[in-house]
Chains A and B, each alone.
Chain A
Amino acid sequence: MTHITLPRSVLFLALLVLALFPLAGSTFYIQLGAKIIIMAIFALSLDLLVGHTGLVSFGHAAYFGVAAYALALIAPKYEPANLWLTLPAALIVTAIAALVIGFLVVRTSGIYFIMVTLAFAQMLYAIFHDTKLGGGSDGIYITVRPEMTVGGFKALDLESPVQFFYLALIMLNAVYVFLNYLLHAPFGRALAGIRVNEQRMRSIGFPVFSYKLGAFVLAGTIAGISGYLAACQFGFVNPEILAWHQSGTVLMMVILGGMGRLHGAVIGAAVYVLLQEFLSAQAFFGDYAKHWQLAMGSLIVLIVLVLPHGIGGFIDVFLRRYGYTSALQTENADD
């Protein structure tokens, strides 16, 4: 499998368009944009596991949900939470959850790994759904959104959709740049090695278990960033955010965009969210809009059958046709 990194100019242009977007869009579209950005972070985190380490997690929503619940549980009821404190706290809780679950699931591989990650995510779902810990099946409201203060000055107030959009955009960029750096660093190369041939990596002397566990915890923590942001945006958490539908959805985004490409995860998230918005729009489909999952399900089946490398795969073919090969990295000939 060959991997293509998008040209810098394209990435920069995309970033510029996104950064200027709130100046033109109405509140509805700004919020939709923020939702896409949040899901893009979520999809990026899963791509680290699925596309780059070869671990197909079907329970990734667990970490998204744990971070969201962490914010909801530690935020004060009637005043804004402090972003400086609550974000790291939520991420630490998420990382611990990913570490404990990862310690158990990373022992397995293949079909087992898929089922076991799903089962543990479902265990967390059961905890939040059945016990009083997180308000049961009703969930919890976050009545006031967090704010970020710098020396007593309120730098960011997440009640404002525009400010929230920029915070999410900055987070997405940070995650993208970090993952891009990481995947080219020795750690990322080792993960690629594990994906292609785990046995060989082990025999060279790499502590494969630790690398996989590291990737699992990192992916969970980054998913936590998106979960935290999602809780901020919706002001509400309930067990459905860590249900397996959510895990399936994010996996779909990764495949849709073409796994193993960072830009693929972002494209996949955008396409999925927009598609869902379109299919569930009453303006287009009237009464059938509430059955949008029927169309989405059919689309998923169709895409798996006819577009095995997602939209990202399409773009690669396109780039190659126009002679764009400078950033082409051949990872491994026999992959």
Chain B
Amino acid sequence: MFYLIQLLNAVQYGLLLFLLASGLTLIFGIMGVINLAHGSFYMVGAYLAYWLAKATGNLWLAIPIAIIIAFAIGLLLETTIIRRLYKRDHLYQVLLTFGLILIFEELRSILFGNDVHGVAVPAVLNFSIPLTETLSYPVYRLFVTGVCLAIAGVMYFVIQKTRIGMMIRAGNSNREMAASLGVNIPLLFALVFAVGMALAAFAGAIAAPITAVAPGMGNHILIICFVVVVIGGIGSINGAMIASLLIGLADTLGKILAPEYSGVAIYLLMAVILLWRPQGLANKS
């Protein structure tokens, strides 16, 4: 039973990572942009959820508003700044988005202070399923797992079965060709970027009740998402899914077996993958 709980936690954490990593990997794959500010949107989502839930008293209202705000910020950012980076070297993309992180972190510090906040689990879901006499599993975590799975399903459907998904896949495999076939590349890029940001913010908002809303939360998860993208292979959604679950498992196992070194476990996994398949699990060399 103990292991069942850990397994559920691992899957939940992995799926949450997938929400972030899928956006990150798509933005790499389609636009060729390395966006460090991706993690900042996770933070933005969590802080918006905290603030709006306090203002409206209702997390169910707070989450959609947070998503809309994040989508709008993403759109604004893409059209004003990120757009100028497409043709530039990765080095400048890293630097500029690093600058964005500093801006987001300081704005957070000015607007919300540097304290750690908590968000209450909504009353409807605030109970646990008893598994044995002493162990139980909180329903909200199951809910998060379910929502993430649903979103992954929708994403799969959109990308594989719809017209816009076709454009995204075309852009992912050959940008110039897609453009010359009449795909509105600037619009597509703006949309993909903003949706990626909205997804990251959604992950932050939905995770807010189970993790602390704290300064620097975006940076930590960003680096783990990098590990996911490296393991899965750039541009691959399937790879991101496999890698997210692997990282979820490695992290949870690490915390059980060697708590002090749990931070190292995922990087060791990455090192092994690098030696074995430097181009990632899902990409062919």
Interface check A129, CB cutoff 8 A: yes
With an 8 A cutoff between CB atoms, is B99 at the interface? yes
Find B278's partner among A108, A123, A126, A298 (CB 8 Å cutoff).
A108
Q: Are B102 and A296 in contact (CB under 8 A)?
A: yes
Whether A255 and B91, one on each chain, are in contact in the complex, defined by CB atoms closer than 8 angstroms, is yes
Task: Place the interface of chain A in its size category.
Answer: 35 or more
CA A104 to CA B107, docked complex, whole Å: 37
Question: A290 — nearest CB in chain B belongs to which residue?
Answer: B109
Interface residues of A in 74-128 (CB under 8 A from B): 104-105, 107-108, 110-112, 114-116, 118-120, 122-123, 126-127
Report how far A114 CA is from B94 CA in the complex, Å.
9
- Nearest B-chain residue to A113, judged by Cβ: B90
The reply on A130 being an interface residue by CB < 8 A is yes
B103 nearest in chain A by CB position: A297
A7 at interface, CB cutoff 8 A = no
Contact A255 B95 (CB under 8 A): yes
Residue of A nearest to B262 (CB): A130
CB closest residue in chain B, given A291:
B106
Tell me the residues in window 251-285 of chain B with beta carbons closer than 8 Å to chain A beta carbons: 260-264, 267-268, 270-271, 274-275, 278
Chain A contact surface mostly: helix
With an 8 A cutoff between CB atoms, is B49 at the interface? Answer: no
Contact indicator per residue, chain A 49-78, by CB within 8 Å of chain B (1) or not (0): 010000010100000000000000000000
What's the Cα separation between A58 and B262 when bound, in Å?
A: 23
Does A115 lie within 8 Å of B267, measured CB to CB?
A: no
In the bound complex, how far is the Cα of B109 from the Cα of A56, in angstroms? Answer: 30
Residue of B at shortest CB range from A109? B278
**Which residues of B are found within 8 Å of A116, using beta-carbon distances?**
230, 270, 274
The distance in angstroms between the C-alpha atoms of A229 and B262, with both chains bound, is 31
| CA–CA, A119 and B274, complex, Å | 12
A-B contact pairs, 19 of them (CB 8 A): A107-B274, A108-B278, A112-B234, A119-B267, A122-B267, A123-B263, A126-B264, A127-B261, A130-B261, A244-B223, A248-B94, A251-B91, A251-B94, A291-B106, A294-B110, A296-B102, A297-B101, A301-B100, A304-B95
A110-B90 contact given A119-B223, A122-B223, CB 8 Å threshold:
yes
Contact A115 B103 (CB under 8 A): no
Interface centre among A111, A118, A131 (most CB of B within 10 A): A111
By beta carbon, the residue of chain A nearest B268 is A123
Residues in B lying within 8 Å of A, measured CB to CB: 28, 34, 81, 84, 88, 90-92, 94-96, 98-103, 105-107, 109-110, 219, 223, 226-227, 229-230, 234, 260-264, 267-268, 270-271, 274-275, 278
Contact for B230 among A119, A296, A304, A305, CB less than 8 A: A119
Contact of A308 with B105 at beta-carbon distance under 8 Å, contacts A112-B230, A116-B230, A123-B263 already known: no
A180 within 8 Å of B (CB atoms): no
- The docked-state distance in angstroms from the alpha carbon of A127 to that of B43 is 24
Q: Select from chain B the residue with minimum beta-carbon distance to A101.
A: B271
B91 touches A131 (CB 8 A): no
For B103, list chain A residues within 8 Å (CB). 293-294, 297-298, 301
Contact A119 B275 (CB under 8 A): no
Q: How far is the CA of A178 from the CA of B6 in the complex (A)?
A: 54
Question: Taking the nearest CB of chain A, how far is it from the CB of B275, in angstroms?
Answer: 7
Measured CB to CB, the closest approach of chain B to A215, in angstroms, equals 16
Interface pair B226/A119, CB less than 8 Å apart = yes
Q: Decide if A155 is an interface residue (CB 8 Å cutoff).
A: no
Nearest to A308 among chain B residues (CB) is B92
Interface status of A182 (Cβ within 8 A of chain B): no
Known pairs A130-B262, A130-B263. 18 more at Cβ < 8 A?
A56-B91, A115-B34, A119-B230, A120-B271, A122-B223, A127-B261, A132-B260, A244-B219, A252-B95, A255-B95, A297-B99, A297-B100, A297-B102, A297-B103, A299-B99, A300-B95, A301-B100, A304-B88
Q: Are A127 and B271 in contact (CB under 8 A)?
A: no
Please, which residues of chain B bring their CB within 8 A of the CB of A304? 88, 92, 95-96, 99
A305/B102 in contact, CB under 8 A = no
Q: Tell me the complex Cα distance, A297–B97, Å.
A: 9
Residues of A near B28 (CB, < 8 A) are 111
Chain B nearest CB, measured from A300 CB (Å) = 3
Note all chain A residues with C-beta closer than 8 A to B98.
Answer: 248, 251-252, 300
Q: Is the CB of A293 within 8 A of B34?
A: no
CA distance in complex: A300, B92 (Å): 10
**Distance of A198 Cα from B271 Cα, bound (Å):** 24
Q: How far is the CA of A308 from the CA of B85 in the complex (A)?
A: 11
Bound CA span A113–B123, Å: 46
With A and B bound together, what is the CA distance between A248 and B107 in angstroms? 19
**B270 CB contact (under 8 Å) in A50, A119, A296:** A119
Find A293's partner among B106, B226, B261 (CB 8 Å cutoff).
B106
Chain B residues with Cβ below 8 Å from A291 are 106, 109-110
Contacts of A111 in B (CB 8 A): 28, 34, 90, 234
- Give the distance in Å from the alpha carbon of A152 to the alpha carbon of B81 in the complex: 61
Complex Cα distance, B109 from A111, in Å, reads 30
Residues on the A chain within 8 Å of B260, using CB: 130-132
State A115–B38 Cα separation when bound (angstroms).
13
A248 to B95, CA, bound (A): 7
Contacting residues, chain B, for A132 (C-beta < 8 A)? 260
